[in-house]
Amino acid sequence: MSDSTVYLDHAASTPMLPGAIEAMTPYFSEVYANPSGSHRFARQARRAIDEARDDVAEVLGVRPNEVVFTSCGTESDNTAILGAVSRIGGVAVCAAAEHHAVLHVVEAVGGDIVPVDGFARIDVDALADLLDEHSAAGRNVAVVSVMAVNNEVGTVNDVAAVAAVVRRHAPGALVHTDAVQAPSWLDLRALTPHVDLLALSAHKFGGPKGVGILVERGGPRIDPLIIGGGQERERRSGTHNVAGIVAAATALRSTDSERATEIPRLIQLRDRLVGELVEQLDDVTETIPRAGGEFGVEKVAGSAHVCIGGIESEALLFLLDEADVCASAASACASGAMEPSHVLAAMGVDREVALGALRLSLGHASTEADVDRGIEAITSAVTRLRSHRPTRTTS
């Protein structure tokens, strides 16, 4: 990535924090032993993992023995859901706007999908009704999953309220949250008391790719997904990524300590980015309102999701890439045809509107210059695309 690149895709992956890079470097060339070994060199590597686990536990407000290191957020989500179904037996349940790391797993085990409202928040009344139906039919519910922060539109779910519904209507079920998008925006200590299982991914908060975290509160509650080596107290086998784990803990500590100052800064940048796009371009809809008080909607500071009329995301992203601006769309290209995001579809967003979706996301590396250049590039690209639209003729 060149110095001229404008990076507006932090929800996909964040650049690593300098402190995390510095922390992991010695474990490539100096402390490279396998931490599962018995000699002194191995014990040094194992001590680094133990210290990292302590740091992660402190930020999350849990006990160190409740922290399990995995390879990514997807593995953590898969382990939580598949492990709960395997250990407890019964049905898995999730919201329709979940990340595919949850949604596809629940679908694969024949679970149930709960609708969401127009802001991508789970419908708690529909959840309660579904859980009551299973109870009346004598069916067990193994796990209910609801993400803390939506990865596309930035909505914050009231996980505490969802957990309360589960405790009342399916007391034997585990509550899982995909909190991958949460660390930069939410104090996780306020989240963990309400859940049994929580998933994180280091590269979303300034750590390296290839490291995930799974919190399993209250001791072993689920079956492991990966077996064979006995690592992580037999909850996740496989040789530890020592350098990555150390860096992940460092990044999580840094993110936690800087959150209070970063959020106001990024709110200002986000509001200017979206505000200028709405002002300079016609037919731009902010998917989740920034000032959501009248709707009771909470949205994270880094999320700037919009839908732009008269264009398609695929063409817009091509022009932005040419302008050295990194962004993404809440849609995917399947079989040569653009299909709307499942999140926007679940929210009830019209298909034609959803085809113009643009996900812009800010993070710790975002600057005023990024926002200025992003506004310029997006307005220029949209204007160019709209100028080439075929005009309708009347006879």
Report the catalytic residues. 333
- Token reading at 246: 């150390």
The Cα–Cα gap between 171 and 130 comes to 14
Backbone phi, then psi, for 359, in 5-degree steps? Answer: -100, 110
Q: Is the separation of the CB atoms in 115 and 123 below 8 Å? A: yes
CA-closest candidate to residue 276, choices 371, 381, 383, 366:
371
Q: Is the separation of the CB atoms in 198 and 191 below 8 Å? A: yes
- Token reading at 84: 């709960």
The Cα–Cα gap between 7 and 324 comes to 8
100-108 and 73-88 helices cross at what angle (nearest 10)? 30
Helix (H), strand (E) at residue 232: helix 231-234
The Cα–Cα gap between 2 and 381 comes to 21
